[in-house]
Amino acid sequence: MKLSKNLTLGEVTKSASAIKKGISNEPTIDHMENLKLIAENIFQPLRDKFGVPIGISSGYRSPDLNKAIGGSITSQHCKGQALDIDADMFGGVTNKEIFDYIKNSLDFDQLIWEFGDKNNPSWVHCSFISNGNRRQILRAIKKNGRTGYELY
């Protein structure tokens, strides 16, 4: 099933961890509506802007899958509202270019520069909700072996 011109449901629900652990990662109808929104408002504009394939390292995560991988209980991935975008999967564009384009040109709820260095994040987390996007921009950091966030 296509969520947008260049993004399929399979791309945002695939999970080696779910397969390995035997955990279902099937979104509900509400989650699918959210996935369509983020596909149409974040992913597709990126794909159209850069004209190259853009990788999704994580999209929808069922609550059981998210718990199994140590994800936050409030993760927008569990609602179908977040994508982890990794341009390095295919090349042709950098994660920094993805981050900057979202920050400067698109509406979003949360945008996170995920680790990496000062020149390029390892991946870009972006969420989108139907009403009241916060445009919150953060940087993920490791502190005492735990992931934390600071304002970008």
Render pLDDT for 131-143 as a digit per residue (tens, 0 to 9): 999 999 999 999 8
Give the residue-averaged pLDDT of 51-79: 94
40 vs 66: CA distance, rounded Å: 24
* Cα angle value 119/123/129 (rounded, 5°): 120
Tell me the domain boundaries of the chain.
Answer: 2-151
pTM to 2 decimals? 0.94
Query: For strand 136-143 and strand 110-114, is the pairing parallel, antiparallel, or unpaired?
Result: parallel
What confidence tier does 102 reach under pLDDT thresholds 50, 70, 90?
Answer: very high
Query: For strand 7-8 and strand 55-58, is the pairing parallel, antiparallel, or unpaired?
Result: unpaired
Q: Which residue would you say has higher pLDDT here, 102 or 145? A: 102
What confidence tier does 66 reach under pLDDT thresholds 50, 70, 90?
Answer: very high
Determine whether domain 2-151 maps to CATH 3.20.20.370: no
Q: Count, in order, helices (H) and strands (E) of the chain.
A: 6, 8
Please provide the DSSP assignment of 105-148 as one string. HS--SEEEEESS-SS--SEEEEE--SS----EEEEEEEETTEEE
Contact 78, 24 (CB under 8 A): no
What confidence tier does 72 reach under pLDDT thresholds 50, 70, 90?
Answer: confident
